[in-house]
Amino acid sequence: MSSYRQLLYHLVFRTKHSIPSLVRDHSEQLYSYISGIIRNKNSHLYIVNGTENHLHILTDLHPSVALADFMRELKASTSKWVKEKGIFPLFDGWAEGYGSFTCSYYDLGYLVEYIRNQHEHHKKKSFEDEYRSLIQIAGIKIDEQYFP
C-alpha cells in the first residue's frame, strides 16, 4: 500500500524592520531562487509573491522536510544570495520569525489568487494588518510584543 500526504503551507515573512527593500524590478530573480530551493527539497511551489517588505509562499513540503529547518535555511540562503547579488541595496536581512499556516487543498485556488494579488491587496491593507488577520483566522493567540 502506498503512503499519501499533502502538506500545504502558506508561509509569510518580512524584511528586517519591515524596510521596503524588495523592489519589484528584481523580485522575479528572488522568486526563481526560492523556487530552486523548494525544488531541491523535493517539494512543490505553487506560488511565491510579495511586496517591498514581505513575502508569501504557498508550498507543499515533502514529509522529510522539517518546517523550522526549511524556514531557517530558506531565510539564511536567500539573505546571503540577495546580499551577494546586490539586487536589493536596502535589504538588510529578514526579520526574526515567520508565519506558517497549514492549508486545505480545497482552498488552493483562493490562496494562489490571494498571493498573486499582493500588490493590489496592499493598496488597501498594511502588512501588519494582513499578518494580524492571518494569525487570528488561524486561531492563534497574538503575542503583542511583535506588533508595535
Average pLDDT (113-140) is: 91
- Order the strands of the 44-51 sheet from edge to edge: 44-51, 54-60, 8-14, 99-103
In a domain, residue 2? The reply is: no
In a domain, residue 134? The reply is: yes
Distance CA 131, CA 123 (A): 15
Average pLDDT (121-126) is: 89
Q: Which residue(s) pair with 55 in the sheet?
A: 13, 50
* pLDDT tens per residue across span 46-85: 999 999 999 999 999 999 999 999 999 999 999 999 999 9
Distance CA 11, CA 16 (A): 16
Average pLDDT (106-134) is: 92
HSE value, Cβ hemisphere, 13 Å, CA-based, for 145:
2
Cβ atoms within 10 Å, residue 137: 9
Average pLDDT (29-39) is: 98
Q: What is the pLDDT of residue 148?
A: 63
Overall number of domains in the chain: 1
In this structure, of 7-21, 26-40, 134-148, the range with the lowest mean pLDDT score is 134-148
Distance CA 49, CA 57 (A): 7
In a domain, residue 102? The reply is: yes
- Indicate which CATH number applies to the domain containing 137: 3.30.70.1290
86 and 32 Cβ atoms separated by less than 8 Å: no
Residue-number span of the structural domain to which 89 is assigned: 8-146
pLDDT(5) > 90:
no
Q: Tell me if residue 83 falls in helix, strand or coil.
A: helix
22 and 131 Cβ atoms separated by less than 8 Å: no
In a domain, residue 126? The reply is: yes
Q: What angle, rounded to 10 degrees, do the helices at 27-40 and 67-85 form?
A: 140
Which is more confident, 71 or 144?
71
In a domain, residue 1? The reply is: no
Q: What is the pLDDT of residue 69?
A: 97
62 and 39 Cβ atoms separated by less than 8 Å: no
Q: What is the DSSP string of 100-125?
A: EEEE-GGGHHHHHHHHHTHHHHTTTS
Average pLDDT (30-36) is: 98
